[in-house]
Structures are given as structure tokens and as C-alpha cells.
Amino acid sequence: NVEEILHQSNELFDKFVTFAETFVKLGADIDRLQQDFSRAKGQLNEGKGNIVRRLEGLKILGISPKKQIPESL
């Protein structure tokens, strides 16, 4: 009985460590993706030559797109 408890405890410990390693890697990947997302969003709507401002400028020049750029950008 003691041997079985030790065996199952060791398996549980190893399983947890495997999960924890995956969890930590996932957190790092999410952080990296958040940084990439922020950088991409900045390219869309920050700075004087940003894409959103240039597209809105085309509307002032007379284009009539069927869709509007989402306000959330």
C-alpha cells in the first residue's frame, strides 16, 4: 500500500511538472503575441503616416467605400 502511494505520488508529481512547464510556455507565448498585436495595431493607427489616417484621407479626397473602418481601431 505504501509502495502504491509512493508510485502514484511520483506519477502525479511528474504529471504536474509537465503541465506547469506547458503552462509557463503558454504564458510566455501569450505575452509575445500581445506585444506583436500592440505593434501591429500601432502600425494601423499611430503616427502621422498611419494606415487608418491615410485611408480616411482618401475618403476626404472623394472615395466612397461601402464599409467603414471600425471605431475600435
Q: Tell me: the pLDDT tens digits for 21-73?
A: 999 999 999 999 999 999 999 989 998 889 999 999 999 999 999 999 998 87
CA distance 70 to 53: 13
pTM, rounded to two decimals: 0.66
Q: Tell me: the pLDDT tens digits for 9-34?
A: 999 999 999 999 999 999 999 999 99
Domain boundaries, given as residue ranges, for the chain: 2-60
The tally of CA atoms less than 13 A away on the side-chain side of residue 30 is 6
Q: What is the pLDDT of residue 23?
A: 99
